[in-house]
Amino acid sequence: MCPERNIRHLGKIYRKGDIMEQNIDARGLACPKPVILAKKAMDTCSRGDVVLITVDNEMAVENLRKLAGSQKAEYASTKLGEKEFSVRITVTQENENQTETEIPVNCSVPSGDNTVVVISSNEMGNGDEVLGKLLMKGFIYALTQLPKLPKTVLLYNGGAHLSCEGSESLEDLKTLDGEGVEILTCGTCLNHYGITEKLAVGRVTNMYEIVEKQADAVKIIRP
C-alpha cells in the first residue's frame, strides 16, 4: 500500500479499505511534468493501489497511457470537460517488480497525421457573399479548436486574402501558426491580386509545393 505520508507536489492521499488512492491535479503543468508526478506516485505504491491524475490536454492523457503500459498497470481515462481529463492508473505489481526503463514521452503538439486544409476562396459555399464570408470565418476559427491540429493550411486563389492584412481570420491563422501549423499562401495568387506586401502570416508558396503537400497528405479537408 502507499505509505500514508505527504509527497511533495503529488497531491492528497486517501484510504479506501485496504487500497490507497492518491490524487494528483496536474492541470496547467507543462509536459512531461504530469508523467513525472504520476511515476513518482506509482513508485510509492503496492499492488492494487490507485493513482488518479487530472490533466487538461489529450497529449498528457496519451503519455500517461504509455506510462501505465510500460509499468504493466491498469489504465482508464475519462473526459470530464472540454479541457479536463481524469486518468486512473491501478498498480498491478509490487514496487520492487516495477520496471525502471525510460518512459517514452511525447511533448510535441498533436498533429492530425499530416492533415492538410485547402482553402481556395475567402467565402465558404455558394450563394450569399456575406454569409459565405461569415461561414469561412467560423470554419477557420473551428480549426483552432480541434484536439489534433492540421499539419498545413494551403491558401490559394481567393483564399490568399485570408492570410493578409485586414482579414477577419488573420488572428485565427496566427494562432494556428503559433501552434506549429504551416500556413502557406500561393505566391502567384498574391501577385495577381496585388496583395503580396500585405501577407501577414505564414509564408509564400508555389504550385509545385501546393501539389506536393496534397499528394503527401493522409487527409485533405476543404470547406
What fold is seen in the domain 115-221? Hypothetical Protein Ychn; Chain: A, (3.40.1260)
**pTM for this entry:** 0.52
Burial of 33 (0-12, 13-18, 19+ CB in 10 A): middle
Specify the higher pLDDT residue, 18 or 88. Answer: 88
Report the topology of domain 12-97.
Translation Initiation Factor IF3 (3.30.110)
Peptide bond into 32 cis (omega under 30): yes
At 64-80, the pLDDT tens digits run 998 998 888 999 999 99
Q: How many CB atoms lie within 10 A of CB 51?
A: 29
Say what the pLDDT of residue 2 is: 47
β-strands 203-205, 50-55: how paired?
unpaired
Copy the grid coordinates of residue 87. 486518468
Distance between CA atoms of residues 122 and 60, nearest Å: 36
Confidence class of residue 207 from pLDDT cuts 50, 70 and 90? very high
Better-predicted residue by pLDDT, 161 or 62 = 161
User: Beta-carbon neighbour count of residue 204 at 10 Å?
Assistant: 17
What pLDDT, in 10s, does the model give residues 96-139? 545 555 666 767 655 556 899 999 999 999 889 999 999 999 99
Cell 497528405, located at residue? 217
Domain assignments of the chain as residue spans, ordered by start? 12-97, 115-221
Q: pLDDT tens digit string along 168-206?
A: 999 999 999 998 899 999 999 999 999 999 999 999 999
